[in-house]
Amino acid sequence: MTIDKILDAKGLACPMPIVKTRKAMNELNSGQVLEIHTTDKGAKNDLSAWAKSGGHELIKIDEENDVLKFWIKKG
């Protein structure tokens, strides 16, 4: 998987992770992949729902030392 952009949203609280994700996503083209790092526990549900509603594909979620990592492919 090629990652086209990495967004560091660690330490940010709701609603900032999705606000930043949307901003970063707008800079990508369809098919490109965004990697997001966050520490907000709600982000798991938030980003899954957001990706689904926007027609993007959530490829993978990973958790490492309290940091949640997401890979979303732009739809």
Partner 1 sequence: MAEKKKTTIVLFSGDYDKAMAAYIIANGAAAYDHEVTIFHTFWGLNALRKDENIMVKKGFIEKMFAKLMPRGADKMGLSKMNFAGFGPKMIKDIMKKHNAMPLPQLIEMAQEQEIKLVACTMTMDLLGLKQEELMENIEYAGVAAYLADAEEGNVNLFI
Residues labelled catalytic: 14
Residues of this chain that bind partner 1 (CB under 8 A)? 11-16, 18-19, 21-22, 50, 53-54
Q: How far is the CB of 36 from partner 1 (least distance, A)?
A: 13
- CA dist 71 and 37 (Å) reads 9
Query: Residue 41 Cβ, how far from partner 1 at the closest point, in Å?
Result: 11
Q: Exposure pattern of 26-58 as b/e (b: 16+ CB <10 Å)?
A: eebeeeebbbbbbebeebeebbeebbeeeebee
Q: Indicate the residue among 2 and 26 with the shorter CB distance to partner 1.
A: 26
